[in-house]
Amino acid sequence: MPDPWTTEENPFSPSMAARMRVTEIREKLAAGEIRAAVVGGGKSGLAAAELLLSRGATVQVLDDKPLAAEAKARVPLASFGAIEAGLLETAELVVLSPGVPRSRPELAASLARGVLVGEIELASWFIRAPLVAITGTNGKSTTTALVAHLFEAAGRRTFAGGNLGRPLSELATSGESVDVAVVELSSYQLESIVDCTFDVACWLNLTPDHVDRYADLETYAFAKRRILEARAMHGVAVLNASDSWAAHAGLRLGGPIRWFSARPHSDLAGPMGTLAGSSGPAVRTDNGEIERYDLENPRLPGLHNRANMAAAIECARALGVAPAQVQAGLQTFQGLPHRLELVATARGARWYNDSKATNIDSTLTAVRAVSGPKILIAGGRDKGAPWDELVELIAPDLVAVLAVGEATPIVMKAFAGRAPILEDVGTVERAVARAAELARPGASVLLSPACASLDQFKNYEVRGDLFRRLAQDLEHKERT
């Protein structure tokens, strides 16, 4: 497997001066004597503001849009304003929400002063439980939820959040007593960690994404690599032996590594790790000891989910969950909504809500996991990646492609001459109605858009909820 890294210098790694500055900031915050600015008034930003206020800080919340009254009510002691460099000049601590790029010119001075950190970094200062961090272009939400479920099945009090669900700052503010915190981390969140350390750092995979935020794939990979650089002194890396970016980053950085793969182990994997394979039980080896795990869970279809389960096994075993407890958790996990979620059976076809597939690679994964003839509903806000591989993979099984949203011209061009039926239907509602006309026994209707949802929806959850409701309405009408 070739090493894709061309240099060791990570543009997102904090300097020694920045680390020292953060030490000073933590001391001032502990004394309740600090002026802080939170940039971004979304879920993570408001949670960070609440945490800072609970610690006696003076807080201003800055956002490009005026915050709604209910948002302001969450932090009544904060002041509010727009994201302007002048308002950040006096801040001794600047906490950045993941949705706000560090490259914004208004943040340049704060970065130069070493006072800018992310919400995850802030929260980590107040959490004593072991942190299990999980990142990857695809699969990180499912794996995070699964790892948390494995700990819960073992009787451990568990927090699950970060990029998935609750911001980590909510745990820090609440004072909840937990045995372990499992956090999904996006590349955006990893860019702005400084002192935060992880007891287990899991990197699932890396494929092209967020081309609007990163100059190239290696820059995106460097943001992801921060998860390994932030391991605790005896922290364990859980790495995909089949992913060259993750595998070679682990080898370059050193430290304890546990491998996982759904493909035959490469030479990188060595004797320690979990091999899921394409079928049958997963096999885990540890210094000559062998453990076997049944991965047959209908809520987790496809080879990609076998890889996710293998990663979850390693994360749980790294913190001492017993094999029998791991197995019990693997069998009882119910999956996550919007991730290849089987929502209905109507017109003889299976209807899958895969609204979380907001990039080409996610849709490729879904297409590989679902067998038989397919009606694909695709489109939304395109992210700029090429569609060629997806078209080649799905074309032999296509019944139809139904294009929706802003990316309709791109979808129509990509599948021209390759789909028996190719239609511009415009909306998810019309796509479901047309799919119902085309569906046949044994086929799959797959909402796997390969695009973001923000052209027509608030987020992918709203898009998926609509699809689920419409598909279930069809199923209900057939039964009554």
Find all residues with CB under 8 Å of 408, minimum gap 6, and list them. Answer: 379, 424, 426
Distances in Å between the alpha carbon of 343 and those of 308, 351, 438, 440? 21, 6, 18, 17
> Packing angle between helix 323-332 and helix 140-153, nearest 10 degrees?
120
Helix (H) / strand (E) element for 108: namely helix 108-113
163 assigned to active site: yes
Q: Is 120 helix (H, G, I), strand (E, B) or coil?
A: helix
Helix (H) / strand (E) element for 245: namely helix 244-253
210 assigned to active site: yes
140 assigned to active site: yes
Count of CB atoms within 10 A of residue 384's CB?
Answer: 12
Whole-number Å distance between alpha carbons of 261 and 267: 12
Active-site residue identified among 43, 138, 140, 308: 140
Beta-bridge mates of residue 80? 61
Dihedral, 78, 84, 87, 93 alpha carbons, nearest 10: 70
Specify whether the CB–CB gap between 362 and 448 falls below 8 A: yes
Q: Hey, what are 300's tokens?
A: 């987790």
Phi and psi at residue 132, to the nearest 5°: -105, 115
Residue with tokens 């929400």: 97
Helix (H) / strand (E) element for 257: namely strand 257-261
Active-site residue identified among 138, 163, 305, 359: 163
Whole-number Å distance between alpha carbons of 257 and 180: 20
Region of 165 (left: φ > 0; alpha: ψ -120 to 50; beta: rest) is left
User: What DSSP state is assigned to residue 242?
Assistant: T
Active-site residue identified among 10, 210, 383, 459: 210
Question: Sign of dihedral through CA atoms 185, 191, 192, 194?
Answer: positive
Specify whether the CB–CB gap between 320 and 314 falls below 8 A: no
Distances in Å between the alpha carbon of 213 and those of 82, 338, 371? 22, 24, 34
Q: Is 368 helix (H, G, I), strand (E, B) or coil?
A: helix
Active site residues: 140, 163, 210
